[in-house]
Amino acid sequence: MYKKILSAVNEHINSEIAARYALNLAKACKAKLYLCFIAEKDTSPTSIEMAENAIKRLFIMAREMDIKVESITATGDPLKEIEKIVKHEAIDIAFAATKREDIEKRFYAGTFARRLSLNLSCSVALVRVVHIGRLHPNKLLVPLKGGDGHIKERAHFIAKMAEGFESKVFVFHATKPITKFFHGEIHITPLEWEKRLPENIAEFMRHLKKHKIEYEGKLLPGAVARSITIEAASKRHDLIIMGASERSLLSSILKGNPVEAVLREAPCDLIIFKPYNENK
């Protein structure tokens, strides 16, 4: 499914870590990796040097892992340039790192990461780097919601990431508790919850099984974002991979946005995966 993978690299270490995830996917998919650095007009020479060094290090890693790799360096508006590369090279998936300042904005409105995920004509994986010491994630936490579509591609992405790192996948679904006006919250045991597993999540697990990926499923009632971060922290997960929850501004203000909240409180690295055409 992924034959050409692009990773945007710059002078920040988080972009290098994001590219390492891309390297891992490229290894699992036997895909070609494109490392691109787009220098803006005001980029300082030191920053350019740092980015070039990062690309050099990634090149060495790619060579050691026997991955085909190509670097593209250009100047101009990073978004426009990356859009061009994606179209020109027919990229299947692009990796980019989110910055700390991005997560301080409401659903990182107007940020580079946000614009990338909306405009690129390929799937996008936005990486939030929290913990650079977890070099090789053993436990992947995959929160899914009932309405998540593009299950086949999601499962493929997760399966390949897991395959690359030889890690175990923990599928997690935090759902709204069942409440009745006069009875309040009704307690349901995990076994009973399993029977209420949404079909798309069951399908996702079937795909993982097809890919021969070791997985465990868990379904719990509770506040989505908080449940995810607590699960990740308590079970010491190394990486969270979740979908981008495209909520309207009004809905985000009223109900909150789980992705935003997880971005802020994730105890480990987080990849927000957006399949191509998800919102089209």
Q: Which one, 134 or 247, has the nearer CB to other proteins?
A: 134
Q: Using the rule CB under 8 A, which residue among 6, 11, 62, 126 binds other proteins?
A: 11
Q: Is residue 99 within the footprint of other proteins (CB under 8 A)?
A: yes
> What CA–CA distance (Å, rounded) separates 160 from 167?
10
* Alpha helix positions (H), the chain: 13-29, 45-64, 78-89, 100-103, 112-119, 151-165, 190-194, 199-210, 224-234, 249-255, 258-265
Q: Is residue 195 within the footprint of other proteins (CB under 8 A)?
A: no
Q: Is residue 148 within the footprint of other proteins (CB under 8 A)?
A: no
Secondary element (H or E) of residue 95: strand 93-97
Q: Using the rule CB under 8 A, which residue among 135, 202, 249, 253 binds other proteins?
A: 135
Q: Is residue 96 within the footprint of other proteins (CB under 8 A)?
A: no
Q: Which one, 12 or 145, has the nearer CB to other proteins?
A: 12
Site string for other proteins, 14-33 (x = CB under 8 A): x-x-----------------
Residue 136 DSSP one-character state: S
Please, which contacts does 221-224 make with residues 24 or more away whose CB atoms are closer than 8 Å? 221/174, 221/175, 221/176, 221/177, 221/178, 221/185, 221/188, 221/193, 222/174, 222/177, 223/174, 224/143, 224/145, 224/174, 224/258, 224/261
> What CA–CA distance (Å, rounded) separates 121 from 30?
21
Binding part of the chain for other proteins, among 31-39, 74-82, 112-120, 127-135 by CB under 8 A, reads 127-135
Smallest distance, other proteins to C-beta of residue 246, A: 22
Q: Is residue 129 within the footprint of other proteins (CB under 8 A)?
A: yes
Q: Which one, 2 or 112, has the nearer CB to other proteins?
A: 112
CB 109 within 8 A of CB 28: no
Q: Is residue 66 within the footprint of other proteins (CB under 8 A)?
A: no
Return residues touching other proteins (CB under 8 A).
11-14, 16, 46, 50, 54, 57, 99-101, 129-136, 181-185, 187, 189-190, 216, 218, 220, 226, 229-230, 233-236, 261, 264-265, 267-268
